[in-house]
Structure 1
Amino acid sequence: MTPVGLLIVSHSARLAEGVVEVAAQMGAGVPLVAAGGTDDGGVGTSFEKVMEGIGAADQGEGVVVLADLGSAVMTAESVLEFLEDSQRQRVRIADAALVEGAVAAAVAAAAGAGLEGVVRAAEEAVPGAEAEEPPELREPTESAVLTLVNPMGLHARPAAVLAGRLSAFDVQVTVNGVDGQSVMALMGLGAGKDSQLVVETSGPDALKALDFVRAQVEAGFGEL
C-alpha cells in the first residue's frame, strides 16, 4: 500500500526541492512532491503547480500539504475549492513548520500512519509546541513492561512505527505515561537500549495493540 503523500508548497522552487530532499532521507517510499515558485520561475506560488502536485502526491492514502508562508497556504486552500469532493476529502493542509513538519510527516507516513496521523506528526513538530495530554484510558486495560533491545532505542523511526500503526487501532495507549499515538511524545521519552517501556492500552483493540507493541519491541523494530 502506497503511503500518504506530501506536497511541499513554497515561494521558492529551490526551497521546496530542498525540503523534499531532506524529508526523503527519513521517508523512504513516501510520495514527495515540490511545488515551489511561480510558473515563470520567479518567487511566489502557482495555482497550477499546487493542483498538479496534489495529483502527483496522491498515490494511495491521500496528501498532506505543508506550506512556507500564509500566501502559500491561501494558494493551497484555493486549489482545494476546485477539487472534486472525493479528492478534497483526501487532502489536508498541515499547520506546521515547513522543514521540521515535513521530516516528521515523512517519518510517520513511511511507518504507515494514516492521513490524520501524518497531519498530527507534522503539527506536533512545530518548535516550542506543548505536548498533548496523554489519552484517558478506558476499561478494560491491558498492560505490559517491555525492554528495548535495539541499539538506538526509541528513536525517530521506531517511534513513527509505533505511533503510525497504533493510530489504525480503536485504542487509547500510553507508553511511560505519554500518548503512544504521538511520534513526538514517544521520541521525547529519550528511551535508549535496555530502557523499560510501561505500555498501557484500553478500548476494543487493547489486546491487539499491546501485542503489536510487544512484537515490535521484542524484534528490535527490525534493527537487530
Structure 2
Amino acid sequence: MTVGLAIVSHSVRIAEGVVELAAQMAPSVAIVAAGGTDDGGLGTSFDRVQAAIAEADSGDGVVVLCDLGSAVLTAQTALDFAEAPERIRIADAPLVEGAVAAAVAAEGGAGLEQVVAAAESGLQGAARPEPTAGEGAVVEPEDGAAVLELELENEHGLHARPAALLVRAASGFEAEVTVNGVDASSLLRVLALGLDRGATARFEATGPQADEAIAAIRELAESGFGEG
C-alpha cells in the first residue's frame, strides 16, 4: 500500500490532467481527481472531494492538493466529516508541482508526513542555487562522502520523468544524497536546477549506504535516466 492523493480543482479537466501527469511518475499510487461541481461545471463539490479521498485511501492515508482557496475550504469540510481525519492531510503546495512531487515520494514508499513534505518542498529552497549547474560549480565533498560527477547525456537532462527516477534512487538508501548542492530526494529542488543535456551533475552522498546510493545513481545515469 502507498499514500494516496486526491486532486481538487475547480475544473474537471485540470484535475484529470494533473492526475494523468502525476500518474506517469507514480503508476502504483492511487491518484484520484475531484474536479468541478456535481454537474461538471466550474467549482468544487463536497461529495466529489469526499468520494475522491475515500477512493485514494488504501489505509496509509491521503494527501489532498487544491488549486484555489475555496477548493481548500471544500477539502477542509470533507476532512471534518471524515471517519479517520488523522489519515488525511491538505498540502499547502502548488497543485501541479506539488502533486508530481507527492506522487514520486509516495511511489518510493514515503509515509504520510513525508509525502506532505515532498509536496510542500517547492515553497522553500527550490530557487536555482548559485552558481548554477554546468557553470563550473565546485563543492568540496564532506569527509567520507561518496562522489560522482558526470555530464548528462540523456535527451532531456534531469527533467520530469528522469528527475523522478533520480529521486526514487536517492530515496532508496540510508544516505543523504545531493546533486549540485540540493537535496536529491526532493523532486522540486532537482527540477529547479534546470539541468539540461550536457550540464554537469555532481552527486554527493554521506551515510551508511552512501556508496550504494552513488552506485545506483551511476547505473541510472548509464541507462540514460530511463531515456536510454
- The TM-score normalised by the length of structure 2 is 0.73
Provide the C-alpha distance between the structure 1 equivalents of 2:8 and 2:75, rounded to a whole number of angstroms.
8
Using the TM superposition, give the Cα deviation of residue 151 of structure 1 relative to its aligned residue in structure 2, in angstroms: 2.7
| Residue matched to 1:112 | 108
| Residue matched to 2:222 | 218
| Residue matched to 2:158 | 154
User: Cα deviations across residues 103-140 of structure 1 (Å, max 9, x unaligned)?
Assistant: 4444x2586362455434433456xx642799xx8764
| Residue matched to 2:135 | none
Using the TM superposition, give the Cα deviation of residue 54 of structure 1 relative to its aligned residue in structure 2, in angstroms: 1.4
Q: Would you say 1:68 and 2:72 are equivalent positions?
A: no
Report the RMSD for the aligned CA atoms in angstroms. 3.4
- Deviation larger for 153-162 or 60-69: 60-69
Equivalent position amino acid for 2:94 in 1? A
Q: Would you say 1:131 and 2:135 are equivalent positions?
A: no
Structure 2 residue matching 1:149: 3-state secondary structure: coil
Provide the C-alpha distance between the structure 1 equivalents of 2:156 and 2:40, rounded to a whole number of angstroms.
43
Structure 2 residue matching 1:201: 3-state secondary structure: strand
Using the TM superposition, give the Cα deviation of residue 50 of structure 1 relative to its aligned residue in structure 2, in angstroms: 1.9
Provide the C-alpha distance between the structure 1 equivalents of 2:201 and 2:36, rounded to a whole number of angstroms.
46
CA contact (8 A) 2:108 2:171 kept: no
Structure 1 residue runs of 5 or longer lacking an equivalent are: none
Structure 2 residue matching 1:221: 3-state secondary structure: coil
Could you list the structure 1 runs, at least 4 aligned residues long, displaced by more than 6 angstroms after superposition: none
Cα separation, partners in 2 of 1:96 and 1:33, compared to 1, 3 Å: same
Structure 2 residue matching 1:220: 3-state secondary structure: coil
Using the TM superposition, give the Cα deviation of residue 53 of structure 1 relative to its aligned residue in structure 2, in angstroms: 0.7
Provide the C-alpha distance between the structure 2 equivalents of 1:117 and 1:164, rounded to a whole number of angstroms.
13
Structure 2 residue runs of 5 or longer lacking an equivalent are: 130-140
Using the TM superposition, give the Cα deviation of residue 52 of structure 1 relative to its aligned residue in structure 2, in angstroms: 1.6
Provide the C-alpha distance between the structure 2 equivalents of 1:140 and 1:117, rounded to a whole number of angstroms.
27
- The TM-score normalised by the length of structure 1 is 0.74
How do 1:9-24 and structure 2 match up within 5 A?
9-24=8-23
Provide the C-alpha distance between the structure 2 equivalents of 1:184 and 1:212, rounded to a whole number of angstroms.
21
Provide the C-alpha distance between the structure 2 equivalents of 1:68 and 1:221, rounded to a whole number of angstroms.
31
Cα separation, partners in 2 of 1:14 and 1:147, compared to 1, 3 Å: closer
| Residue matched to 1:187 | 191
